[in-house]
């Protein structure tokens, strides 16, 4: 059974003419500010708009903000003081991501129902236990919780029940039975699975245990199909045929692109590099002259290996942090002493040092507003403080630890300073 939507059809609000006078626009870098109750400067913009329910003027409030691991969003809320009509929507202000994302959450407790959820227009929501699905583009984007998603589906099914009871009583009875089952799930009468599949890659489900691994939440990144590309309005790129292969090992290629931060025109440099005792990789670096943003990305220059690679390295001396590290997009990183695991594709592909990788992990965890802002609990802040302290001790050489790199594609690498001899502190294992 599918729910076509949980809000009344039609556009909830349309700008009225003339609009009120605008305040002075803030600087571009301050348009999207991290979501925080302590930021007094972060105020919504109010616009007088036409109510599509009573056709009198109401108020639309727009808030430009940032959500961790999700980039920028625009939250809009409309309310009409005349008829009481209200509506809330969310729109992604960023670009479509390079890969789609699929979240599978096993809901067992009421705490799981309170998880923050960002669901975009293009996301499909499913509950396999009920054979229930909310198709893509049938609802507006929403910033809500797991309980809010189910409540929204219940409201969408209940809104046309009086008409169904008058015209199709049998269908109305079946929907009443299904609504009862949804309400039981809302009370968590039994465990169930919530799946959010978004080909745009812009949806998000909160991990309340961050920075630790969440056993109840599985996140999968995937390449979009041609049908999904067309659904998002993207044109699939046809492979170009070249008459002959060119030797690019001694050449730096340059091509034009847009900055991922400010969207200004930028230039990306790409070079094919041979790593000793490993394989060829492609290093891409982008430098934006407008905002100063710099980024680099590493792609494997070869095919997926027949066997995966699992590298276990014991960090015992500060000099170990200077070793070169190649982490592919398919590689997960684990530090057992800190009970920390970094999933695939979180930091993307990187060619850096061990120290650089650990600092990127620290920045990723400590700059998460869900664990530092007003929505975090004292227990979360204490765990995060202990995690940061231990990670700093590893970086300073005061604490020994193990680093485990698990890459099912076999395209990750950690420098062996004893090569071609074996490294006594490093273990390499092939995984089938």
- Where does CATH 2.20.25.420 sit in the chain? 33-92, 253-300
Select, from the ranges 86-100, 338-352, 397-411, the one with the highest average predicted confidence (pLDDT).
397-411
pLDDT tens for residues 227-274? 888 888 776 555 566 555 566 667 788 888 888 788 888 888 888 777
The whole-model pTM stands at: 0.46
Is 308-345+352-431 in CATH node 3.90.470.20? no
| Residues 334 and 321: beta-carbon distance below 8 Å | no
Q: What is the pLDDT of residue 71?
A: 59
- CATH 2.60.120.1040, applies to 100-231: yes
Q: State CA 98 to chain mean position distance.
A: 11
What's the confidence (pLDDT) of residue 21? 40
Length of the chain in residues, anyone?
432
Query: How confident is the model at residue 25, as a pLDDT?
Result: 45
User: How far is residue 104 CA from its own chain's centroid?
Assistant: 13
pLDDT band of 32, cuts 50, 70, 90: low
Which residues, in sequence order, are bridge partners of residue 14?
50
Q: What's the pLDDT at 156?
A: 87
Q: Which CA distances in Å does 262 have to 43, 304, 309, 359?
A: 22, 34, 37, 24
Q: Cα separation of 66 and 160, whole Å?
A: 36
Q: Are 295 and 286 spatial neighbours (Cβ–Cβ below 8 Å)?
A: yes
* Intervals of CATH 2.60.120.1040 along the chain: 100-231, 308-345+352-431
Q: Whose CA is closest to 203, among 72, 345, 70?
A: 70
Calculate helix-pair angle for 378-395, 354-366, nearest 10 degrees. 170
Q: What pLDDT does residue 216 have?
A: 92
CATH of 253-300, one of 3.40.50.800, 2.20.25.420, 1.20.58.220, 3.40.50.10330: 2.20.25.420
| CATH match for 33-92 among 3.40.50.10790, 3.30.2350.10, 3.60.21.10, 2.20.25.420 | 2.20.25.420
CA 352 from centroid of its chain's CA atoms:
23
Helices (H), 232-377: 354-366, 369-372
């Amino acid at each position: 059974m599918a729910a076509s939507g949980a809000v009344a059809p039609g556009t909830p609000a349309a700008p009225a003419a003339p609009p009120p006078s605008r305040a002075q626009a803030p600087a571009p870098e301050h348009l999207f500010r991290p979501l925080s109750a302590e930021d007094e400067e972060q105020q919504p913009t109010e616009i007088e708009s036409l109510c599509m329910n009573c056709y009198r003027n109401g108020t639309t409030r727009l808030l430009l903000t940032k959500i961790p691991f999700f980039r920028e969003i625009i939250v809009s809320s409309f309310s009409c003081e005349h008829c009481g009509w209200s509506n809330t929507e969310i729109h992604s202000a960023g670009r479509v991501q390079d890969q789609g994302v699929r979240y599978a959450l096993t809901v067992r407790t009421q705490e799981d129902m309170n998880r923050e959820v960002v669901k975009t227009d293009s996301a499909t929501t499913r509950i396999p236990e009920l054979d229930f699905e909310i198709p893509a583009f049938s609802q507006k984007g929403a910033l809500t919780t797991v309980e809010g998603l189910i409540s929204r589906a219940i409201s969408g099914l209940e809104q046309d029940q009086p008409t169904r009871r008058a015209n199709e009583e049998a269908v109305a009875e079946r929907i009443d039975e299904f609504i009862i089952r949804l309400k039981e799930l809302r009370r968590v009468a039994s465990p169930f699975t919530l799946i959010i599949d978004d080909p745009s890659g812009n949806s998000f489900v909160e991990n309340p245990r961050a920075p630790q691994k969440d056993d109840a939440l599985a996140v999968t990144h995937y390449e979009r199909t041609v049908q999904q590309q067309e659904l998002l309005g993207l044109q699939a790129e046809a492979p170009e045929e070249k008459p002959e292969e060119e030797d690019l090992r001694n050449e730096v290629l340059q091509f034009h692109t847009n900055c991922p931060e400010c969207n200004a025109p930028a230039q990306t440099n790409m070079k094919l590099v041979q790593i000793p005792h490993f394989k060829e990789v492609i290093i891409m670096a982008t430098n934006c002259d407008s905002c100063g943003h710099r980024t680099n990305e590493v792609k494997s220059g070869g095919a997926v290996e027949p066997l995966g690679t699992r590298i276990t390295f014991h960090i015992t001396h500060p000099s170990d942090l200077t070793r070169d590290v190649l982490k592919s997009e398919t590689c997960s990183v684990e530090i057992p002493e800190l009970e920390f695991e970094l999933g695939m594709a979180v930091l993307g592909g990187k060619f850096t040092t061990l120290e650089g990788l650990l600092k990127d992990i620290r920045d990723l965890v400590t700059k998460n507003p869900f664990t530092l802002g007003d929505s975090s609990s004292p227990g979360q802040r204490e765990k995060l403080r202990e995690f940061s302290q231990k990670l700093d001790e590893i970086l300073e050489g005061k604490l020994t630890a193990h680093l485990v790199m698990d890459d099912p594609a076999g395209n990750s690498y950690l420098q062996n300073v004893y090569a071609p001899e074996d490294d006594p502190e490093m273990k390499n294992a092939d995984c089938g």
